[in-house]
């Protein structure tokens, strides 16, 4: 997720984190001697930060504060659990960034919702035509904040790719971070885009 811009940790900063989460990493067969760690602040959490953990073979993602580490597993379960513990603090300024983070790191067994705001956000297969690309480009929109609804949830509107179709959809975000897509409007289908496989059951 480009907006996060994680920064690398030096050895001194990484050492206590690695020592604390060593059992988690060993359970995932990560090589502690070849570990690169990058971190980014998340504006909806006061203490938890987002971490990218990478060795020579695999990459893991983690929400962490001293004394509490949660490895992400492509489900919403981990994010919702951290939201309860943190607790999450959403507002008009950070709710769009939260929605982008959520849909980037949550991938359901039935497919993945990919927020696409500009042409560079769309991954195309080699056989996609310029005409097809232009039709999609003409329908893309930035994630837009629409206010707070009667249900006290933030309302966003976005263009998303799901499988090989482009939709316009509303995203409703509760104050505790619970997400819901509603009012989906199919814009284009049968697009020549790669369809991500479901995430592994064990990650």
- As a whole-number percent, the residues of the chain with pLDDT over 90 amount to 90
Q: Which of 36, 192, 45, 32 is nearest to 124 (CA)?
A: 192
The pLDDT value given to residue 24: 94
Give 79's DSSP letter.
H
Tens-digit pLDDT profile for residues 34-70: 999 999 999 999 999 999 999 999 999 999 999 999 9
Report domain extents, the chain.
Answer: 7-85, 95-188
Q: Is the pLDDT of residue 200 over 80?
A: no
The pLDDT value given to residue 196: 84
Q: Is the pLDDT of residue 166 over 70?
A: yes
Average pLDDT over the chain, rounded to an integer = 95
Neighbouring residues of 104: CB distance < 8 A, sequence distance ≥ 6: 1, 115
Alpha-carbon torsion 175, 180, 40, 117, what sign?
negative
The pLDDT value given to residue 201: 65
Q: Is the pLDDT of residue 111 over 90?
A: no
pTM of the model: 0.95
E strands along 4-132, which residues?
7-8, 36-41, 49-54, 59-65, 68-71, 113-115
What is the distance between the alpha carbons of residues 104 and 114, in angstroms, rounded to a whole number? 7
Band of pLDDT at residue 197, cut at 50, 70 and 90: confident
Say how many CA atoms lie within 13 Å of 2 toward its Cβ: 5
Give the burial class of 67: count Cβ atoms within 10 A of its Cβ; 0-12 exposed, 13-18 middle, 19 or more buried. exposed
The pLDDT value given to residue 79: 98
159, 128, 134, 180: CA torsion to nearest 10:
0
Average pLDDT over residues 71-90: 97
The pLDDT value given to residue 90: 98
Average pLDDT over residues 90-98: 97
Backbone angles phi, psi at 38, to 5 degrees: -125, 150
Alpha-carbon torsion 181, 82, 9, 107, what sign?
negative
What is the distance between the alpha carbons of residues 156 and 145, in angstroms, rounded to a whole number? 5
Q: Is the pLDDT of residue 156 over 80?
A: yes
What is the distance between the alpha carbons of residues 79 and 70, in angstroms, rounded to a whole number? 9
Q: Is the pLDDT of residue 202 over 80?
A: no
Mapped onto helix, strand or coil, the DSSP state of residue 150 is: coil
Average pLDDT over residues 152-180: 97
């Amino acid at each position: 997720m480009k907006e996060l811009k994680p920064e690398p940790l030096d050895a001194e900063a990484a050492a206590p984190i690695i020592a604390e989460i060593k059992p988690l990493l060993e359970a995932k067969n990560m090589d502690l001697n070849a570990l690169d760690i990058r971190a980014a602040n998340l504006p909806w959490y006061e203490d938890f930060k987002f971490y990218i953990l990478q060795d020579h073979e695999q990459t893991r993602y983690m929400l962490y504060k001293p004394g509490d580490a949660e490895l992400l597993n492509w489900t919403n379960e981990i994010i919702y659990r951290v939201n309860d513990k943190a607790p999450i603090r959403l507002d008009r300024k950070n709710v769009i960034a939260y929605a982008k983070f959520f849909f980037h790191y949550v991938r359901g067994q039935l497919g993945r919702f990919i927020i696409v705001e500009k042409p560079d956000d769309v991954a195309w297969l080699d056989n996609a035509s310029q005409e097809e690309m232009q039709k999609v480009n003409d329908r893309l929109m930035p994630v837009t904040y629409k206010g707070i609804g009667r249900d006290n949830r933030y309302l966003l509107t976005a263009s998303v790719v799901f499988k090989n179709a482009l939709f316009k959809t509303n995203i409703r975000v509760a104050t505790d971070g619970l997400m819901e897509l509603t009012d989906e409007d199919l814009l284009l289908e049968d697009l020549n885009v790669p369809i991500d496989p479901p995430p592994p059951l064990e990650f």
